[in-house]
Structure 1
Amino acid sequence: MYFFEHHGMEEKEFFKYSSLDNISFPLHFHRAFEIICVEKGKMVITIEDEEYELSENEAVIVFPNQLHKLHTESESTSKVIIFSPELIGHFYTAYKGVVPENNKLYLHTVPHESQVDALYAQKSFLYSICDLLIKHTAFTPVTVSSKRKIIQNMLLFIDENYHKECTLKDVAQAIQYDYAYLSKLFYHYTNLTFTNYVNRYRITQAAYLLESTEDTISEIAMKCGYKTLRTFNRNFKEYKKVSPSFYREKINTH
């Protein structure tokens, strides 16, 4: 099962810097590049079919649309930088359609967030990573199966339409594939029915809004595609094991 994230789909240049402890994240992909560097402890990162074990000062760079997952067994502290391809436009154009044979890098240091809070500082750091990568590894053409492309299009449709009516019938019409074929293919790749996946995705977005905004629970329910508060509350409790109000209260006390 894997997820599509919206990173890199913004209309403007995008740069997000995070310091994270003990991170684990399921298989997913996005249009953005991502740099993950371990400062302390150890982490295992899987990119497509390759598994990388990272220790202190070791990093990986994930290219757009590469499937990847992160796992911390015991303890890790890491810095994660996610950025749009447009920030390194020259490199992105030159290396579009290929991926590194080896995504792993050794970084002596990663700048503090305050050192890359301006556009040219960000570009300078990112292009230094590009230079290091070019010197470090060869590149191979991207190979994505036709079935995976269909799944990516389906996940992109969900990401763009989860806040309104979003059914498998809608997807079938949008991407012009047979309904029954898409139903079986989607379950094969995600181990979920299309409806279950959409509900999970909506609840994930709702949890984020509960944490990061002051919107009312009713407003969040509507923004996440639920027509009634009752259905939203029921689905939220099914997936998060607590009510939306209790979830927000718990977050605010931490």
Structure 2
Amino acid sequence: MKAILEKVPQRIGSSWRLKKIREHKKAFSWHYHNKEFELLIHRNFRSHCHIGHFQGQLSENSMILIAPNVPHAIDAIPDNNIDNYETFVLWFKQDWIANMMFSCQELRKIESLLKRAEKGLLFSHQTAEYVAEIIESVDESDFDPINLLAKFILIVEVLCQDKESKTLLSYNRDQQGNDQTNREKIERLCAFIDQNYHQPLTLEDAANCICTSESSIHRLFEQHFNESFTQYLKKLRLNHAAENLVSTADPISHIAEQVGYRNQANFNRQFKQYKGMTPREYRQHYKLDAKV
């Protein structure tokens, strides 16, 4: 079975991404990431774990670090006593962490950890519980960049200290066999949207960009982004708006127009729905040059 390239949702201004997932059903999804490491904690359920050629059962509260281009999937073992399957997922980019290690000698001990992750790295339950506690303390609506980075470094330190961690694969096979054409299409599509998100983009525009049909674009987003084209574009615009709110003194109406909104009331409504506060409240809370 061919693994699907899954794109990681990015947050403007963040070098890593954390997501707490609670779902009624844990769907099987055989996928890989071509740029990001993925740290997974399966909090309250046992699972069938598939990483590369490894297949096995994992108990609840299992934590695994997976390198880029390693296909993987988690299939929850059904349990009538579980209403919501809870998973913590943390992603960080390979080039970003490499630059961090190059610039900061203190972080170079991470290198062996990342190398072992190419074979799927399973941590002890004690370490998984400690990391889960750190993640639980992170408010998903908060966006204090320095505090979030400090949390990430603390998590990495905890991972490095685990003497009981073990690799799951007997050998590593790089995910070069995946559909290269599809990967190139996705990269072109992302670049096109990043360059034109402030314009009134449509599904047809995206389809024309990579010379395909609108229905193909729809399937591409559902498969590789786990959301629709419209949702992806909205989040990108609002994240750019959030960045401009804290890094500039531009009027909110101007910022809304800069990111592609022609109606400020619509912008305000969607921003509050996504960020949990109005643009004005967000600026007051996170303004980089706020008085101290």
1:31-50 map, 5 Å: 31-50=35-54
Counterpart for residue 78 of structure 1: 87
Counterpart for residue 28 of structure 1: 31
Counterpart for residue 208 of structure 1: 231
Counterpart for residue 148 of structure 1: 178
Question: Which of 124, 143, 166 is equivalent to 2:209?
Answer: 166
Answer yes or no: is the 8 Å Cα contact 1:167–1:195 preserved in 2: no
Alpha carbon RMSD of aligned pairs, Å?
Answer: 4.3
> How many equivalent pairs are there?
195
Identical counterparts, % of pairs: 11
**3-state secondary structure, aligned to 1:77:** strand
Answer yes or no: is the 8 Å Cα contact 2:45–2:77 preserved in 1: no
**3-state secondary structure, aligned to 1:59:** strand
The alignment's TM-score, normalised by the length of structure 1, stands at 0.56
Answer yes or no: is the 8 Å Cα contact 1:8–1:83 preserved in 2: no
Counterpart for residue 166 of structure 2: 136
CA distance in 1 between counterparts of 2:219 and 2:148 reads 36
Deviations 1:26-55, CA, capped at 9 Å, x for gaps = 222222221211221222232222224222
Counterpart for residue 241 of structure 1: none
Answer yes or no: is the 8 Å Cα contact 2:189–2:209 preserved in 1: yes
Deviations 1:8-31, CA, capped at 9 Å, x for gaps = 797851231314234325222222
Counterpart for residue 20 of structure 2: 18
Letter of the structure 1 residue corresponding to residue 152 of structure 2: Q
Answer yes or no: is the 8 Å Cα contact 2:44–2:86 preserved in 1: yes
1:237-252 map, 5 Å: none
Deviations 1:114-134, CA, capped at 9 Å, x for gaps = 535532222111232144278
Per mean C-alpha deviation after superposition, the further-off stretch among 124-133 and 96-105 is 96-105
Question: Which of 173, 179, 188 is equivalent to 1:157?
Answer: 188
Q: Greater share of strand residues, 1 or 2?
A: 1
CA distance in 2 between counterparts of 1:24 and 1:157 reads 28
**3-state secondary structure, aligned to 1:18:** strand
Deviations 1:134-170, CA, capped at 9 Å, x for gaps = 853498875336543725444433444476323369x
**3-state secondary structure, aligned to 1:111:** helix
Counterpart for residue 243 of structure 1: none
Letter of the structure 1 residue corresponding to residue 122 of structure 2: K
Cα 1:147–1:212 change in 2 (3 A) is closer
**3-state secondary structure, aligned to 2:43:** strand
Unaligned runs of 5+ in 2: 102-107, 139-146, 194-204, 239-259, 261-292
Unaligned runs of 5+ in 1: 170-193, 216-222, 224-254
**3-state secondary structure, aligned to 2:158:** helix
**3-state secondary structure, aligned to 2:173:** coil
Answer yes or no: is the 8 Å Cα contact 2:40–2:90 preserved in 1: yes
Counterpart for residue 4 of structure 1: 6
CA distance in 2 between counterparts of 1:51 and 1:210 reads 36
Answer yes or no: is the 8 Å Cα contact 1:61–1:104 preserved in 2: yes
CA distance in 2 between counterparts of 1:121 and 1:205 reads 31
CA distance in 1 between counterparts of 2:49 and 2:150 reads 29
CA distance in 2 between counterparts of 1:48 and 1:8 reads 25
CA distance in 2 between counterparts of 1:91 and 1:154 reads 36
Letter of the structure 1 residue corresponding to residue 51 of structure 2: I
The alignment's TM-score, normalised by the length of structure 2, stands at 0.50
Question: Which of 55, 59, 68 is equivalent to 1:55?
Answer: 59
